[in-house]
Structure 1
Amino acid sequence: MSEVAVEEKSIIMKEDLCMEIDPPFKENLATAEDWRKALSKVVPAVVVLRTTACRAFDTESAGCSSATGFVVDKRRGIILTNRHVVKPGPVMAEAMFVNREEIPVYPIYRDPVHDFGFFRYDPGAIQFLSYEEIPLAPDAASVGVEIKVVGNDSGEKVLP
């Protein structure tokens, strides 16, 4: 292949891989007050998950770890987290809410393809915290949407 043909093919490939991303419109940008209101509502629904895998199973090793999850269904007591947190094998786990209430949680689903899993808890076990669920809204996700991530710092506390 000639040098010109290689250069032309390289330019075509680069153009195929590029995409134009529009910046967010000014009127859609959230203010600091908007973020404060949103965070005050969602932080109580974010939990620290502490898990203990009693033995190595599949590709996961035995051990203890901590992670973040959030309540997606308050009435049924369902917490969403990452797939590896739910573990492929036997696991003992507990969730700690922002007010330090700790409750046991039980794995109910670990997606085989996507990076999510669910734990279940008894909603009646939360006695002292008023919290809301964070509803899932996959249709609202798109490139360029401004987000904030709320999670825990190595299991120490919940941080915005």
Structure 2
Amino acid sequence: VKNTACMANCAQHVAIGSVLPDYARNAHNNLAEQNREYGPYRGVDTTKPPVAALPSSGMMMVSTASAAPKAVGPADLFKKENCSACHAPAAKLVGPSIADVANKYKGVANAQAMLEKKVKAGGAGVWGAIPMPAQTQLSDADNKTLVQWMLNGGK
């Protein structure tokens, strides 16, 4: 920089960021209700204050012992991840049925790995023109469990 005249009284460090002002937080109603309940992009609940504004932020939290979490089976995971919005046990909805997937890939050597990639990445064309959204929110373990369960016909 050759001209230093414009450099007088400048802030030494500038942080670029964005903040939603309190008065605008819920201006268009709850964003969580305006987004899909499945997939990687879920809206924030704008009816509640931001996490940083909660009374507990910045303070040490005391935790208490709780009951051990209940074991979740593949069928529970299928419901929790809202897979049933597009897939049914024996009938085609938006996507193929569990039975159709199991029948199509029965005996295919690399079906497990191929379908795990397909679930994570999403795509269209195999079962019709309607695309399956990428399910990037699924952990690798949950993805493997769901695909294996579907390949076994939901059993």
TM-score, normalising length: structure 1: 0.24
TM-score, normalising length: structure 2: 0.24
Greater CA radius of gyration, 1 or 2? 2
The structure carrying a bigger helix percent of its residues is 2
Q: Which has the higher contact order (CA 8 A, sep 6+)?
A: 1
The structure carrying a bigger strand percent of its residues is 1
